[in-house]
Every structure is written in C-alpha cells, then in structure tokens.
Amino acid sequence: MTDESPQAHKPAPAGRSTEPAKPVPAAKPGRQGTTAALPKDPGAKAPATAAPAPEQPGAPPWWRTLRADAPLLVRVAIGLAALGVLGVVWWFVTRGDPTEAIVSPAKLKSPGQVFGSFAALLERDLVGNILATLWRVLVGVGLGALVGIGLGVGAGSYRSVAAAINPAVIFLRSVPMGALLPFTIYWFGIYETQKSMFIFLAVVPFVFSDTVKAISAVPQRYVETAQTLGASRFQIIRKVLFPLAVPDIVTSLRFQFGLALGYITLAEAINPTAGIGFLLNSGEREGHLEQNYLLLFIIALIALGIDLGIRFFQRGLFHYRKDL
C-alpha cells in the first residue's frame, strides 16, 4: 500500500495542459547590446530626427584673404590701371608750354614726345641693335647657366664643394659690376668677348646660389627612398636631385635674363658699334633725350616678353608645379 497524497490524482483544471512548461528563450541582444526590437505600436510617434548641421560659410573672397591670388583678368586690370595712373601723372607734370610745365622738358619729356620718337628710333636701326644686344645676353647667360648650374648641383649635393666655391661666389655677388668692368677689358679686350664675359660674371654667382638652394630644397625622403632601392650617389644626383630641382633653376634663369639686360648697357659703353647701349650713348651725345626714355620702355618690354615666354614653356613642361 503506497502512501500517496490525495492531490496526486486530482484532475488538472480545464483548459490547462498537463505538459511541463517550456523555458522562454532569452531575448538576443541587438547591435547596440539592447534587446530585440518589439513590434511597433501603431499609435506611437516616430522619434524626432536630429536637426541638420548648419552650413559652413564659404571661403572669403580674395581681397579679404592674405596671400590669395586674384583672377588673371583682375590682376591684369589692376596692373594696367596702375600704369594708367602713372601715365596721367606723367602727362600732368609735363603738360603745356615749356615755361608753364611743372617739370621742365630739359629734364623730362612729355609722353607725346617720347612715344612720338619711335619712327626716328627705327631709322637708327633699332631692330638690328636689339638683336645684337640679345645675342650678347644669350651668350653670357648661357655660359652662366652651364657653369653655375654645374657647380651648383655639385655644391648642393656635396657640402665640401660648397665650402670651396662659396668664397668666390660671395666675392662676385658683393663687388659692384661697374667696378669690375675695367678688369674685363684687361682680361678679354674691348670686343664681343668682353661684353659676353661681363654678363657671364654678372649672372653666374646668382645662378650658382639659386641652384644650390633648389638642390637643397628637395625633400630628404626622396633621397632615402632611392638609397633603399640601391641607387648610387651619382644616380641619386642625376635621377632624383637634379630633375626635381630643374623647375626652380629655370625660374632663376628667368630672373637672370632681366638682370643681364640691365647690365649689358654698361658693357656696350665700351667700344660701342651696335646694341641698345650704343643707341643710349649716341642718343645722349646727340641730345635725343626722348629716344633714350623710349629705349628704357623698350628694354622693359623685352625683359617682360622673355619672362613671359620662358614662364609659358616652364608651366607646360612642369605642369605638376602649380606655384610657377
């Protein structure tokens, strides 16, 4: 006889299952570690979206920004306007009769007299004299480029070479070229060689210094990368340092052409037979002051044309340099 509780045979209430209850699985965490999302209540309001971030103001215009370039047409217009103001001032101080002008015609000719002398200047073989001057400048700057760039690359790559050449370069940069002119006569005579060598001595120290600066400005990481790849020192100079420095070296040569046009008139004062300096000297002796003023404008225009021409090809060859 078993001892059973009276409740053991008590029937289960209607509507309830006699099977044991299954455990409810735990809710899986969501992406943020929260429980699984429940069905949305149709009457619930959607959460408010975040307000859009305020728009950032645009860049200020170029005239309110330091070291910002204006558009090309604006720069050209500003330059022409400045020249126009100078022209108006020039006309104002030289207007009227010689006795009424603010500045005497003996000191400053009027714009009409200066630019009206162009025909007379053409009769003095202006084109032939300009070509003679440009040839001397080209030879002198070309020699300066060959020597200055060659020595500058060596000095920029090897500090010992720079230590040996720097004293001579400092000397040439410090001595006034007018004081050096008589020595070029002793060394090279009074003919074409003297004029070209005078230009050479005037520009070579600046070409050398700018080349050293351009070589030194090449980032060291390019040299280290080439060394990692097993390049020799000569290969690094020829394939890394010099190619990366060429754009800045060409910029230096642009400036040297303008410098040479300023110095060539000194050399052409010695035994002048042709050239812009010859025209200036003969115009001074003959009293053609207005033609000499016009020659100054012509020299400036030639220098500007050379600079723009070199810059045009420079930007085409080194298009990756946006600062040229």
Residue 150 lies in a domain: yes
| 85, 189: one domain | no
Tokens of 163: 């230590």
Spell out the per-residue pLDDT of the chain, length 324, in tens: 444 444 444 444 444 444 444 454 444 444 444 444 444 555 455 555 555 555 556 678 888 888 888 888 999 899 999 999 999 999 999 988 888 888 888 888 889 999 999 999 999 999 999 999 999 999 999 999 999 999 999 999 999 999 999 999 999 888 888 888 889 998 998 888 999 999 999 999 999 999 999 999 999 999 999 999 999 999 999 999 999 999 999 999 999 998 898 888 888 888 778 899 899 988 888 888 999 999 999 999 999 999 999 999 998 898 888 777
The answer to whether 110 and 100 are in contact (CB under 8 A) is no
270 occurs within a structural domain:
yes
Q: How far apart are the first and last CA of the chain?
A: 114
Whether 266 contacts 205, CB under 8 Å: no
Q: Chain centroid to CA 114: how far?
A: 35
Spatial separation of the C-alpha atoms in residues 48 and 128, rounded to whole Å? 83
| Residue the block writes with tokens 């225009």 | 301
Burial of 210 (0-12, 13-18, 19+ CB in 10 A): buried
One domain, residues 201 and 302: yes
Amino acid at position 76, single letter: V
Return the axis-axis angle of helices 126-157 and 276-286, rounded to nearest 10°: 130
Separation of alpha carbons 173 and 203, rounded Å = 9
Alpha-carbon torsion (142, 259, 82, 116), positive or negative: negative
Q: Are residues 136 and 79 in the same domain?
A: no
Give the number of domains in the chain: 2
Residues 6+ apart with CB under 8 A from 161: 151, 154, 155
Q: Are residues 93 and 156 in the same domain?
A: no
Q: Which structural domain, as residue segments, surrounds residue 246?
A: 116-317
pTM beyond 0.85, yes or no: no
In a domain, 293, yes or no: yes
